[in-house]
Amino acid sequence: MFLRRAGIEQERMQQNKMADGTEEHILVIEAGRTHSRYLRDLWLYRELFLILAWRDIIVRYKQTVIGITWSILRPLLGMIAFTIVFSKIANLPSDNVPYPLTVYAAMLIWQFFSNTVSIGSESLLNNSNLISKVYFPRLIIPSTSMTVSLTDFLISALVFIPLFFYYRFLPDWRIVFLPFFVFLTILVSLGMTYMISALNVKFRDFRFAIPFALQLGIYVSPVGFISSVVPGKWRLLFSLNPLAGIIDGVRWSLFGTPLYLPSLVMSIVISVLLLAGGYFIFRAMEREFADVI
């Protein structure tokens, strides 16, 4: 069904190009018609994207000290707690990497994902005044909400510098692959955000399930432990969670720990599918946002 929709969209796009050729701004609005210029509109509205991102960041860091401290403190406290529970109490292995480092790397990825989803899933509701009063491609709203969590992520990543010094640990050439894994995290986070934010507009009880799901999620992702402690027969099932492969990849690129390829491949495929699925669900529900919000 989604594929057919995309096909129609392409057809309409060509029609519009011809109409545009006449130098005038001609806009045809028709009932039941798929919005053919969506991607072009997204590009036209890029300044709005930037300014909303700027707004979110300014508001978040208006109280600079609290904002920055909080974004550093959260993953750090999480790391300490998980290190105590999983390493000191449960005595789990860590591939000869200092346990706090292993946890911190995963914690950053996890919190980036979880912050994006939890801020993003509320974003449409928080901007309901914009949605009911002006037109713009609504995809901009959940997309902007990622900039805050991305900033937080980058700030808290700086803590790696003192950590590396303290543990006298230096990443090797593999670190050049790190951005790729962050990019995959972005795909997963956006896909989930698009999907959940759209469902949140129509189904108002959805929002109560999200924090709960996110809290469980940290335990089915290899944050407090490394993936190789998962028994072999469960490994593929475990890898259905795209963050599992991504976190393994991050650890591989930072610490040179072994990489389990099937899991990584699955992560890549699922990330792309999630983003595409999220996008199509969002587009399908978007047309009635202004009416129901």
Q: Are 207 and 200 in contact (CB under 8 A)?
A: yes
262, burial (CB in 10 Å: exposed 0-12, middle 13-18, buried 19+): exposed
In 3D, which of 122, 119, 107, 123 has the Cα closest to residue 148?
Answer: 119
* CB crowding 146-161: b at 16 or more within 10 Å, else e: bbbbbbbbebbbebbe
For residue 227, what are the CA distances in angstroms to 22, 114, 168, 242, 275?
59, 19, 24, 12, 24
Among 48, 68, 72, 273, binds other proteins (CB under 8 A): 48
Calpha distance 248→258 (Å, rounded)? 8
Q: Who's near 123: CB < 8 A, 6+ residues apart?
A: 141, 142, 144, 145, 193, 197
Both tokens of residue 94? 């860590």
Q: Is the dihedral of CA 233, 235, 237, 238 positive or negative?
A: positive
Both tokens of residue 124? 């449409």
Place of tokens 């998980």: 82
- AA identity, residue 104: Y
User: How many positions of this chain bind other proteins (CB under 8 A)?
Assistant: 37
Nearer of residues 136 and 177 to other proteins, judged by Cβ: 136
Nearer of residues 46 and 88 to other proteins, judged by Cβ: 46
Among 161, 205, 212, 232, binds other proteins (CB under 8 A): 205
Nearer of residues 5 and 55 to other proteins, judged by Cβ: 55
Listed ranges 47-55, 64-72, 149-157, 265-273: which one lies at the site for other proteins (CB under 8 A): 47-55
Nearer of residues 119 and 223 to other proteins, judged by Cβ: 119
Listed ranges 97-105, 150-158, 203-211, 245-253: which one lies at the site for other proteins (CB under 8 A): 203-211
Nearer of residues 102 and 121 to other proteins, judged by Cβ: 121
Among 133, 173, 212, 233, binds other proteins (CB under 8 A): 133
Q: Is 204 among the residues that bind other proteins (CB under 8 A)?
A: yes
User: CA-based angle 119:123:127, to the nearest 5?
Assistant: 145
| Span 67-96, contacts to other proteins by CB under 8 A | none
| Span 23-42, contacts to other proteins by CB under 8 A | 24-32
Q: Is 290 among the residues that bind other proteins (CB under 8 A)?
A: yes
Nearer of residues 121 and 156 to other proteins, judged by Cβ: 121
Nearer of residues 26 and 89 to other proteins, judged by Cβ: 26
CB of 52 to other proteins, least distance (A): 8
Q: Is 58 among the residues that bind other proteins (CB under 8 A)?
A: yes
Residues that bind other proteins (CB under 8 A): 24-32, 47-48, 51-52, 55, 58-59, 62, 127, 129-136, 199, 202-206, 287-288, 290-292
